[in-house]
């Protein structure tokens, strides 16, 4: 029987007696004391072995280019530099990473002869400290030959598109078609067909703590010891060991006590584990690497972007009879394990919360010149539900029905659970109708609708959005094999399950310790596990010590272990309960023999083991628990050891895909129903959340306060995806979101307080009846907000993120060009990382004098900001070395500048290119010199520049001002050289050697 109630961290603890179990209470978190007092132990806080070296990574400024030559001699000569590794050296000591599909394609943690995305590692410097390693990066000279670039997943399939990998013809890594039921007949028979085209954008997790790796190699044992803030899954342990060319028992992978968030993304650190471990092997000393924020944004991993065409066969009453999915998944430049898992994790759930029996699916996976993708909170759910729930609203509008009524008419019936979906998922429990009714009542939907009517009556833009989604959790390890055909799966052997591991131990004084193979990323593992085990043993949570660190050489773990797919409450905590119950069963038999009662009469309560019928007949828990250490010979013969119990648990409901490609891709299926009201400012087109209501059924709630915290965290992240966050790339593959000034994240001032409503339908498949809850709003909130915005503006199509500029184009059309005749120096639109401008400047000196100065290397070196050296190759060809800083970026660049169409001393066209450690640029400008009649010179100019690399990544909000500043510096120096006077705003040699080179750089 479903139980519905509004539960919060405070209300759940009221009105119950002392006998209530610890599970279900919002007790104080064990983790918070250290974290809130600054005593957390994160990877960069931990000490390292004496002699540990530090690594810095040189990254490609190009999205696609051949590496013609790498000169590392100058870097190697820098004092303190121990090793400089390029792709060739790394390849010599490693093997290719596993590619996610069967194809003749290699995948390395560093570029081998060719780069395929901006930020791809090209070289690694290992030195005595990080600063010295970074200095050495600038001394490495790389010669690239750029190739054509493709960033659009649909364009990647075109016959003329540039090819990223020979083993992926037409950039197609996988192409599979699935059919369930009789979708063709369903579409032929229904009166209505509705379709929607969706391009779901890239976004990512942005944890406070970035990647970190400390690796050492024991040459005598040929073994690696690696500390990394890795979240799992531990299937990647096998991938790492294979890449490092060692058996699994010679790869020790450890995690620090604390991790500053992950939300999935820290699974992606595994390629850097291989890279830094290879560096440690070559250097012969431990190597430490901590990723900076720009590296993380540019080149860690992101969620996939997906192009979807979704069609529905719909009856006159709004019932959906069939779905036709056409999905093109963009996994970036390399298909790294476990991809294309993002596409297939939801395969069993393609009908969402709806009773739809006919489905057709066409899945294609492509590669593009973008960062490789990986785990990300929601992991495939946002992409699926944005298309499905937008289509539901489109159906409602097309049939002139209430969107909520269309949702209700299509829900899985309440009496149908466990319910098998058309594509194979087994929905374990739920009552979606009751959940929606409760949310509508408690969330006061009627009042919100009245609010919308009143706002519209006053001419305001107000809309309401709905969404209903199933939240899968505890992934079936076998779902990824759905990418293979049935014949390929039979050849490869079965893969399935979701094994979880927990160990419960008793020490010689009777204390309880719990260890689990699940690395916490903020979920409160230690608190919840202490509650679960305390209930089994009749103790208080403070009596139970929990260790969630991982050491693969000492701890029990499985290939499916790890903290992913919202598996902690359902699988990990449940397994700890089972392990504790096994120990408790043995202790009960020991106590029964001492208390002279039957084992069935034994209870655990208040620190004692006692007779259920005579509570005074009891013995201290610690005394019985310690007996296995002090007097094992006195234990009853049938008890066995009581010191430690390790439990491996996997649910039988998770089987391999069948021959018809049906797959129960997850064990548990929570339910979420959201609705919200939004108002859009008519002037700014900024979206404001007026009210957000979210109903969750996550089965048994273990810790109400933390469940609400997980929901709030997921809601905040989802709001970022809806309104702010997007990994944007220029047409040349340059990454445009390299700082948190460009990749916008919501802060506490932008995130409203959602109204959280709970309903509990315990899962029959998990030991505690719990289901996952941490990812759901990342699936439901983006489309709920989008539906509300579409309702407010009367739009048929909306694209995330719903930034004001995008809404302005939808509502008002394209922005008109600026008025002519004015000096401009501004970046072009997003997606076109170019600078164009024109303007005027004044120098005290005749044109002939200025002309001569511009052709004199010594003068140029003295007036170009940051110039170290200028070499005159010919009368019209110069080379320069400059060091340039823009905001947080400073770098050294080599520039080539040539003069064309000279009309001395009146005009000249300059063309050039520059490149630095992480940037490149090219530019052309026309300069005109005219006497002012007073001994001075008027300069007029126009220019066009293209940039790439690090400054292109961080420069969205800096380029305009930085360009003007550098131009000003050049003219101020030129004016002083010419005899003083006012400085203008632009130079061309400065612009060429600088602006062209300026757009790349390093910290």
Give 540-564 as a DSSP string. -GGGEEEE---BTTTS---TT-SS-
What is the spatial distance between Cα 478 and Cα 489, in angstroms, rounded to a whole number?
A: 10
pLDDT at 810: 85
Take residue 990 and report the two structure tokens written for it: 């400065």
Phi, psi of 123 (to 5 degrees): -155, 155
The pTM assigned to this predicted structure is: 0.89
Closest by CA to 34, choosing from 504, 539, 522, 709, is 522
Residue 301 φ then ψ, to 5°: -140, 160
SS3 content of the chain, % helix, strand, coil (to 5): 30, 30, 40
Q: H helices within 538-620, ranges in order?
A: 573-595
* Distance in angstroms (rounded) separating the CA atoms of residues 996 and 943: 11
Tokens matching residue 189: 């028979």
Q: Helix 776-793 vs helix 704-723: angle between axes, to the nearest 10 degrees?
A: 50
pLDDT at 903: 86
The full DSSP string for 204-252 is ----SS--EEEEEEETTTTEEEEEE-----THHHHHHHHHTTS-GGGEE
Rg (CA), the chain: 32
CA nearest to 253, candidates 276, 234, 275: 234
Are the CB atoms for 652 and 492 separated by under 8 Å?
Answer: no
The tokens for 953 are 């990544």
Q: Which two tokens stand for residue 892?
A: 């050294």
Euclidean distance between CA atoms 857 and 879, whole angstroms? 9
The CA distance from 719 to 752, in Å, is 10
983, 972 contact by CB (below 8 A):
yes
pLDDT on residue 520:
86
Q: Chunked in runs of 10, what are the mean pLDDT values of the chain (1003 residues)?
A: 37 49 96 92 95 97 96 97 98 95 94 97 98 95 96 96 97 98 97 97 94 98 96 87 96 93 92 98 98 94 96 98 98 95 96 98 98 95 98 98 98 98 98 98 98 98 98 94 94 90 96 93 91 97 94 89 89 97 96 94 96 95 95 87 94 95 97 98 96 98 96 97 95 90 92 97 98 96 98 96 92 71 43 62 79 75 73 77 65 73 83 68 79 82 70 58 56 61 42 41 34
Classify residue 417 as left (phi > 0), alpha (psi -120 to 50) or beta: beta
Taking the C-alpha atoms of residue 818 and residue 653, their distance in angstroms, rounded to an integer, is 62
Residue pointed to by tokens 């395929």: 116
Burial of 755 (0-12, 13-18, 19+ CB in 10 A): middle
State the Cα–Cα distance between residues 172 and 158, nearest whole angstrom: 10
CA atoms within 13 A on the CB side of 527: 19
CA distance 51 to 217: 13
Question: 28 near 915, Cβ under 8 Å?
Answer: no
């Amino acid at each position: 029987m479903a139980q519905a109630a509004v539960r919060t961290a405070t209300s759940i603890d009221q009105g119950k007696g002392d006998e209530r179990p610890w599970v279900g209470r919002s007790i104080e978190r064990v983790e918070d004391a250290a974290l809130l007092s600054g005593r957390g132990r994160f990877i960069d806080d931990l000490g390292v072995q004496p002699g540990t070296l530090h690594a810095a990574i040189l990254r490609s400024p190009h999205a696609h280019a051949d590496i013609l030559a790498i000169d590392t001699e100058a870097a190697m000569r820098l004092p303190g530099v121990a090793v400089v590794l390029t792709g060739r050296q790394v390849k010599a000591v490693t093997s290719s990473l596993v590619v996610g599909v069967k194809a003749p394609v290699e995948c390395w943690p560093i570029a081998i002869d060719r780069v395929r995305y901006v930020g791809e590692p090209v070289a690694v410097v290992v030195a005595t400290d990080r600063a010295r390693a970074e200095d050495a990066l600038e001394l490495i000279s790389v010669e690239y030959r750029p190739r054509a670039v493709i960033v659009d997943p649909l364009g990647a399939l075109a016959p003329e598109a540039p090819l990223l990998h020979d083993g992926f013809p037409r950039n197609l890594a996988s192409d599979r078609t699935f059919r369930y039921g009789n979708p063709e007949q369903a579409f032929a028979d229904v009166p209505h067909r509705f379709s929607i085209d969706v391009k779901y954008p890239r976004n990512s997790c942005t944890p406070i703590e970035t990647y970190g790796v400390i690796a050492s190699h024991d040459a005598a044992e040929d073994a690696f010891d690696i500390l990394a803030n890795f979240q799992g899954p531990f299937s990647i342990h096998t991938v790492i060991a294979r890449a490092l060319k060692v058996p699994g028992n010679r790869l020790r992978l450890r995690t620090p006590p604390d991790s500053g968030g992950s939300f999935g993304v820290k699974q992606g650190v595994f390629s850097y584990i291989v890279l830094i471990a290879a560096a440690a092997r070559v250097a012969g000393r431990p190597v430490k690497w901590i990723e900076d924020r720009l590296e993380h944004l540019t080149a860690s991993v992101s969620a996939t972007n997906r192009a979807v065409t979704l069609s529905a066969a719909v009856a006159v009453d709004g019932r959906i009879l069939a779905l036709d999915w056409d999905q093109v998944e963009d996994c970036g430049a390399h298909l790294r394990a476990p991809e294309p898992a993002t596409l297939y994790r939801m395969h069993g759930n393609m009908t969402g919360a709806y009773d739809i029996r006919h489905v057709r699916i066409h899945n294609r996976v492509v590669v593009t010149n973008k960062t490789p993708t990986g785990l990300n909170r929601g992991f495939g759910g946002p992409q699926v539900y944005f298309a499905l729930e937008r289509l539901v609203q489109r159906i409602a509008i097309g049939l002139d029905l209430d969107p909520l009524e269309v949702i209700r008419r299509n829900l899985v019936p309440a009496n149908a659970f466990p319910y098998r979906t058309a594509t194979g998922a087994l929905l374990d429990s739920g009552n979606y109708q009751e959940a929606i009714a409760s949310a509508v009542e408690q969330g006061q939907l009627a009042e919100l609708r009245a609010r919308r009517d009143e706002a519209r009556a006053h001419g305001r833009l107000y809309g309401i959005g709905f969404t209903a989604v199933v939240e899968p959790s505890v992934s079936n390890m076998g779902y990824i094999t759905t990418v293979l055909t049935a014949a390929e799966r039979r050849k490869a052997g079965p893969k399935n399950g979701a094994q979880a591991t927990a160990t419960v131990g008793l020490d010689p004084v009777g204390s309880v310790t719990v260890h689990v193979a699940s690395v916490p990323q903020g979920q409160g593992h230690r608190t919840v596990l202490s509650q679960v085990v305390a209930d089994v043993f009749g103790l208080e949570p403070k009596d139970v010590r929990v260790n969630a660190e991982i050491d693969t050489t000492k701890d029990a773990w499985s290939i499916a272990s790890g903290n992913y797919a919202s598996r902690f409450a359902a699988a990990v905590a449940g397994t700890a309960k089972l392990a504790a119950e096994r120990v408790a069963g043995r202790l009960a038999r020991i106590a029964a023999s001492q208390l002279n009662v039957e084992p069935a009469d034994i209870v655990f309560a208040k620190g004692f083991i006692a007779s259920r019928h005579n509570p005074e007949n009891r013995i201290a828990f610690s005394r019985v628990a310690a007996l296995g250490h002090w007097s094992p010979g006195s234990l009853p013969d049938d008890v066995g050891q009581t010191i430690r119990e390790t439990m491996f648990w996997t649910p039988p409901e998770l089987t391999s895909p069948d021959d018809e490609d049906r797959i129960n891709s997850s064990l548990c299926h929570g339910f979420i129903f959201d609705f919200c009201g939004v108002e859009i400012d008519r002037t700014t087109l900024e979206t404001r959340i007026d009210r957000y209501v979210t109903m969750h059924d996550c089965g048994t709630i273990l810790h109400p306060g933390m469940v609400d915290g997980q929901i709030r965290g997921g809601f905040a992240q989802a709001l970022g995806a809806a309104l702010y966050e997007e990994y944007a790339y220029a047409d040349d593959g340059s990454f445009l979101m390299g700082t948190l000034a460009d990749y916008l994240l919501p802060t506490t001032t932008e995130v409203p307080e959602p109204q959280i409503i709970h309903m509990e339908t315990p899962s029959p498949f998990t030991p505690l009846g719990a289901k996952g809850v941490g990812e759901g709003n990342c699936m439901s909130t983006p489309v709920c907000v989008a539906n509300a915005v579409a309702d407010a503006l009367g739009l048929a199509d909306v694209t995330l993120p719903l930034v004001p500029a995008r809404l302005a184009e939808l509502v008002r059309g394209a922005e008109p060009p600026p008025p002519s005749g004015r000096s401009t120096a501004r970046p072009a639109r997003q997606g076109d990382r170019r600078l164009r401008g024109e303007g005027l400047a004044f120098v005290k000196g005749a044109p002939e004098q200025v002309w001569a100065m511009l052709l004199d290397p010594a003068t140029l070196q003295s007036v170009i900001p940051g110039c170290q050296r200028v070499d005159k190759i010919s009368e019209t060809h110069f080379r320069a070395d400059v060091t340039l800083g823009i905001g947080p970026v400073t770098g050294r660049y080599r520039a080539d500048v040539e003069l064309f169409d000279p009309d001395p001393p009146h005009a000249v066209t300059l063309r050039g290119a520059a490149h630095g450690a992480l940037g490149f640029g090219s530019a052309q400008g026309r300069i005109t010199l005219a006497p002012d009649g007073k001994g001075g010179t008027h300069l007029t100019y126009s220019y066009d520049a293209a940039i790439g690399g690090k400054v292109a990544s961080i420069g969205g909000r800096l380029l305009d001002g930085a360009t003007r500043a550098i131009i000003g510096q050049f003219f101020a120096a030129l004016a002083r050289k010419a005899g003083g006077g006012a400085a203008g705003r632009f130079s061309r040699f400065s612009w060429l050697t600088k602006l062209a080179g300026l757009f790349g750089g390093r910290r």
